[in-house]
Amino acid sequence: MNKTDEYESWILEAKENFVEFIPNSSALLQKITVIVCDETNIETEAKELCVNLNVDYFNDEENRKLASGFAIHGKQVYGIIMNEWFNDIDDLFYMTLWHEIAHCYSKEHDNVSCDLEEFLYSSSEKWTKEYSDLLYGYGFWKEFEAESIAYYLLQKTNRYDDFVDEDGSCFESMMHNCIEHIDTCNQDDNLLYHYFGFVFAEIRKRVGGVLSNSTVESKMFNSILRESDADSLGEEVKDSLIDMFELLSSQMSKSHFWVTDKEFVAKLGDKRIKLMNAIDNQKKFAVK
């Protein structure tokens, strides 16, 4: 089987898995076009896909070349471009594709994406506390939600352990790398959703597949923090991580954890801002 045929078989199986384990997704999958290409053709494919989906095109070649995959959203039709340089192993391919399909799925099924995107785009009261909380909450939630769906499917299809081995994920390096690369000046914490997505996937594995006991899961997270030498981060940062975990845990314990509401997203934004402030305070203290 040549590589093009192999990619086609992976795409077909990934779509079938998504339909099998994620409810009400069959019609959606029929509206998603998936393209696999090398980085030299990514922008050309993105431009052509935007034309086909009747979406305004903008050049973002620098960022798109660095992405393992990305989704382009039309009006209830979607396109996904996969960078083959990052996805030449099947488990990595599935993880990336499920993450991007999940972004498309959330538009129609997570109960908040469409309304929040409209509110954040059109609101005349920007930078009120409500706006900030929703902006930072949704910015985190949409990525964490997609990452969590992808991990959930890795576990449902028995690909999780192989993926973790191939990806080289471990709590200590991931947490410290995440914290060190948070840019509090620009409110940039792109690695944070990766960390929490992995945390909940690993806890789900440890408890046998179902997240349902917040007390047990909180104890496990505290144990993970000890494994990761979280004390070196300082009490304020550690406590903020715990607060964020506990809020996410209340959502992840639901069978359809991807369905939420604006109140939860606003609370999540507040926790995210407090974590960034705690990291900022820690950095200032370290300089003194």
C-alpha of 28 from chain center: 19
Q: What is the pLDDT of residue 220?
A: 92
| CA 206/CA 227 separation, integer angstroms | 15
Give me the residues paired with residue 83 across strands: 37
Classified as helix, coil or strand, 161 is helix
Q: How far is the CA of 64 from the CAs of 60, 79, 115, 258, in angstroms?
A: 6, 14, 26, 26
Distance of CA 17 to the CA centre of its chain: 19
Pairing of the two strands 69-73 and 78-83 = antiparallel
Residue 15: per-residue pLDDT = 97
Mind listing the pLDDT tens digit of every residue in the chain (288 residues)?
688 899 999 999 999 999 999 999 999 999 999 999 998 899 999 999 999 999 888 888 888 888 899 999 888 889 999 998 887 788 999 999 999 999 999 988 888 887 888 878 777 777 788 888 999 999 999 999 999 999 999 999 999 999 988 776 777 788 888 888 887 776 678 889 999 999 999 999 988 888 888 888 999 999 988 888 888 888 999 999 999 999 999 999 998 999 999 999 999 999 999 999 998 888 776 655
Residue 186, pLDDT score: 67
State the pLDDT at residue 190.
82
